[in-house]
Amino acid sequence: MLETLRQVCLAFRIADDLVSYDELKAGNINRTYKVNTVKPDGSLKSYIIQKVNTYVFKHPDWVMENIDHVTEHIRAKKREKIALHFHHTSEGKTYMIDDNGFWRLFNYIESDTFNVTTDPDVIRNAGEAFGEFQMQLADFDASELFVTIPDFHDTRKRYEKLEADVLADPCGMVAEVKEEVDWLLSVKDCACQLTDLFRAGEIPLRVTHNDTKINNVLFDKKDKSALVVIDLDTVMPGLVGSDFGDAIRFAANFVEEDSPEAEKAGINLEVFEAFADGFLKCTAKSLTAKEIETLPLSCFVLAAELSTRFLDDYILGSPYFKTNYPEHNLVRTRCQIALAKDMLAKMDIMEQIVKECVKKYA
Ligand code: GN1
Ligand code: MG
């Protein structure tokens, strides 16, 4: 691997000697490596190299063009902000393709990241960062963006795919997951409400991040302020509820996304409140009343939608999400379902919290 990464560095015109690397395991799609080089004066400098998953991203060059566009747009507004800086090859490209795959390289930003935290300041800062991100893109012309994964948060299409794959049952796994399939189908219409409202023209399309896990925000090591929103691979036209809901289903769960202790999964309302407060501080004035109304429900929607995705992947033999063991996607499904159930039970309180935040900021 070291030699492969060394070749990638060279392609991106980094001449300093690569001495070591670590694989960073947070993402479920791309492979991410922190590589450490030594400069001629003896000092160390690190970069991030990613191998983009081309099973998931069929047009990784489109992904890179989108990122370029969006980053430029944000940088023009906030010159002083830290940004991911992608390095170029000698041909002026932000990616390179070799026999091993599709590679990109960017600067390493010294920072903290969190998979699980209940620190209300960190959570509020994450809410602000994602809310601000969306507001910065409010005047971005969505037609300039490639759709890198079609129907990414179209919950009805996600369900249709699950139902088709349950029928086909290519790996003979469906009998084992009957309970999960049945429960997901029993909440289908509720889970598809965001998609239905969009199709009915009741909520607008915006430019959204679409993958708002809290570990996609880098935080200052000292004061825990948000430095930058990363992982712009799925920036596409989308719904505000998808960003809000996805962030909550990840950050506000009592346990990690792939915890085998599904019975402990559920929504931490203090985390919910802190994130909602930060997010609405930045967005309450700009969102429509209908969009705001969808926010609490969108958390359930995103948890149910991701349950269908994990389960579908499990049924197909896990070609999409990275897994560490054969049952990994089933474990993720069960944990997400338990979270979704708890959200339904607490929907009234979530609605109340959003109302209070809106009163404060709108
Ligand atoms: C994937 O790669 P990562 O971890 O940022 C997935 C998201 C899921 C998430 C679940 C392109 O995100 O949609 O919500 O896993 N990204 C893609 O952990 O499918
Ligand atoms: Mg991602």
CA–CA distances in Å: residue 33 to residues 25, 49, 88: 9, 5, 18
316 found inside a domain: yes
Percent of the chain with pLDDT over 70: 99
301 found inside a domain: yes
- Which pLDDT value is given to residue 143? 87
Whichever domain contains 196, its CATH number is: 3.90.1200.10
Distance (angstroms) between ligand 1 centre and the Cα of 43 equals: 35
Residue identifier of the C-alpha nearest atom 8 of ligand 1: 211
112 found inside a domain: no
**Short-list 12, 68, 67, 60, CA closest to 35:** 12
- Which pLDDT value is given to residue 191? 98
| Residue span of the structural domain in which 46 resides | 2-107
**Model-level pTM?**
0.96
Please give the number of the atom of ligand 1 that sits closest to the Cα of 302: 14
**Contacts of 331 by beta carbon, 8 Å cutoff, 6+ apart:** 258, 259, 260, 262
Shared domain check, 126 and 71: no
Shared domain check, 328 and 204: yes
Residue pair 337/307 in contact (Cβ under 8 Å)? The answer is yes
Whichever domain contains 47, its CATH number is: 3.30.200
Q: How many residues does the chain have?
A: 362
Shared domain check, 152 and 91: no
- Mean pLDDT, the chain, integer: 95
Shared domain check, 156 and 295: yes
Shared domain check, 215 and 103: no
Q: How far apart are CA 1 and CA 22, in angstroms?
A: 10
- Which pLDDT value is given to residue 26? 85
Which of the listed residues 54, 81, 107 is the one where a domain comes to its end? 107
Shared domain check, 170 and 49: no
Shared domain check, 94 and 130: no
Q: Mutual orientation of helices 240-251 and 120-136 as an angle, nearest 10°?
A: 160
Q: How far apart are CA 107 and CA 227, in angstroms?
A: 14
106-154: pLDDT as tens digits: 999 999 999 889 999 999 999 999 999 999 999 998 889 999 999 999 9
What is the pLDDT confidence band of residue 362, given thresholds at 50, 70 and 90? confident
Which of the listed residues 86, 107, 128 is the one where a domain comes to its end? 107
Specify the number of domains making up the chain: 2
Distance (angstroms) between ligand 2 centre and the Cα of 211 equals: 6
113 found inside a domain: no
Shared domain check, 145 and 62: no
- Which pLDDT value is given to residue 76? 87
Shared domain check, 294 and 186: yes
Please give the number of the atom of ligand 1 that sits closest to the Cα of 215: 5
Which of the listed residues 107, 136, 165 is the one where a domain comes to its end? 107
Cβ atoms within 10 Å of 317's Cβ, excluding its own: 13
274-330: pLDDT as tens digits: 999 999 999 999 999 999 999 999 999 999 999 999 999 999 999 999 999 999 999
Shared domain check, 230 and 88: no
Shared domain check, 95 and 131: no
Residue 56 Cβ contacting ligand 1 at under 6 Å: yes
Q: What is the DSSP string of 114-145?
A: -SS---HHHHHHHHHHHHHHHHHTTTS-GGGS
Shared domain check, 124 and 102: no
- Which pLDDT value is given to residue 84? 84
